[in-house]
C-alpha cells in the first residue's frame, strides 16, 4: 500500500505547528512526471555559472506549494549547492569565482571542502514539492523551523539530532546518505539567497525515519505541554 504522505505531513505540521509546510526532496534519474521548474537563466558569469535560481536552496522556498523537477544546470549558479547535492564534483567547482569569494572572505578554507557531506551518486533530476503531494517515496523530508520547533525536535531525538552550520544545504546529504536527522542553524549565503527570516532554521529528516520521528515527537510534545502548563501555573505566584 502506498504511504499516505498527506497524513504524515499533516501530523508533522500539527505536532510542530509549522508555518511552512514540510517539503519532499527526491533524487531520481527521471522526472517522475514532475514538470520542469520554469524560469529564465541570466547571462552566465565569467566562470560560466548560471541557473534557474541563485542557489539550489531557493528551491526549498519555491516547493511549498507545487511539485517540480530540476536538473544540474538549474542548480549550477551555486557551486556549493551543486557539490552537496552530488551534481558537481569538487574538482569541477574548486576554481569557480563563488568558491574563491567564500574562501577570500574567510568564510571557509580550502581544507573544509573535502569534509562537507555530499550526495554520493549523480542523479539526473532532483524533484521538490510539498510532502503532502508526494506521489513517490522521497529521500528527504525538509522543514523550516523556529527555535521552539527546534527545541521540540531536540527534546524528542536527543543526541540523535545532529546540529550543523554552514553550508546549510549539506544537511540534505546527511539525511540521504547517512540516515541522520540534521538541523542547521543556517548560513549567511543561504539566508540572503532564500530570503529566509532570521528566526528560521532548517531540518532534514530521512524519509525512512519519519514514522519513528513522529512517534517520538508526539511523546516529546506531550511532555513539553505538561511542563509548560506547570511553569505557567507556577508563575501565577509571581503576579502582583
pLDDT at 135: 87
Q: How does residue 240 score in pLDDT terms, banded at 50, 70 and 90?
A: confident
User: 233 pLDDT exceeds 80?
Assistant: yes
pLDDT in tens, 135-189: 899 999 999 999 999 999 999 999 999 999 999 999 999 999 999 999 999 999 9
Q: What is the mean pLDDT of the chain?
A: 96
- Unique residue bearing C-alpha cell 510532502: 131
Cβ pair 33, 162 in contact under 8 A: no
> Which residues are 27's β-sheet partners?
126
Q: How does residue 1 score in pLDDT terms, banded at 50, 70 and 90?
A: low
pLDDT in tens, 60-106: 999 999 999 999 999 999 999 999 999 999 999 999 999 999 999 99
118 inside domain: yes
C-alpha cell at 86: 552530488
21 inside domain: yes
pLDDT at 137: 94
132 inside domain: yes
% the chain with pLDDT above 90 = 97
Q: Is the peptide bond before 167 cis (omega within 30 degrees of 0)?
A: yes
- Domain hosting residue 171, numbered range: 5-235
Distance CA 34, CA 48 (A): 27
C-alpha cell at 66: 507545487
Question: In Å, what is the CA distance from 224 to each residue of 148, 154, 182, 219?
Answer: 11, 11, 21, 9
- Unique residue bearing C-alpha cell 505547528: 17
240 inside domain: no
Distance CA 68, CA 60 (A): 11
Number of domains in the chain: 1
pTM: 0.95
Amino acid at each position: 500500500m502506498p504511504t499516505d504522505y498527506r497524513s504524515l505531513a499533516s501530523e508533522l505540521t500539527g505536532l510542530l505547528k509549522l508555518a511552512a509546510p514540510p517539503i519532499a526532496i527526491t533524487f531520481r534519474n527521471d522526472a517522475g512526471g514532475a514538470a520542469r521548474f520554469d524560469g529564465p537563466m541570466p547571462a552566465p558569469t565569467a566562470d560560466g555559472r548560471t541557473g534557474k535560481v541563485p542557489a539550489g536552496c531557493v528551491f526549498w522556498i519555491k516547493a511549498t506549494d507545487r511539485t517540480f523537477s530540476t536538473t544540474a544546470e538549474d542548480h549550477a549558479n551555486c557551486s556549493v549547492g551543486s557539490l552537496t547535492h552530488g551534481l558537481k564534483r569538487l574538482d569541477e567547482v574548486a576554481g569557480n569565482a563563488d568558491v574563491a569569494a567564500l574562501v577570500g572572505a574567510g568564510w571557509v578554507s580550502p581544507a573544509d571542502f573535502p569534509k562537507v557531506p555530499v550526495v554520493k551518486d549523480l542523479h539526473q533530476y532532483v524533484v521538490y514539492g510539498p510532502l503532502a503531494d508526494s506521489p513517490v517515496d522521497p529521500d528527504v523530508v525538509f522543514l523550516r523551523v523556529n527555535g521552539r520547533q527546534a527545541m521540540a525536535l531536540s527534546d524528542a531525538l536527543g543526541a540523535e539530532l545532529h546540529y550543523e552550520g554552514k553550508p546549510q544545504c549539506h544537511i540534505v546529504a546527511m539525511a540521504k546518505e547517512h540516515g541522520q536527522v540534521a538541523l542547521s542553524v543556517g548560513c549567511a549565503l543561504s539566508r540572503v539567497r532564500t530570503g529566509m527570516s532570521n528566526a528560521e532554521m532548517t531540518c532534514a529528516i530521512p524519509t525512512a525515519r519519519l514514522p519513528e520521528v513522529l512517534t517520538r515527537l508526539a511523546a516529546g510534545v506531550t511532555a513539553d505541554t505538561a511542563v509548560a502548563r506547570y511553569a505557567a501555573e507556577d508563575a501565577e505566584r509571581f503576579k502582583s
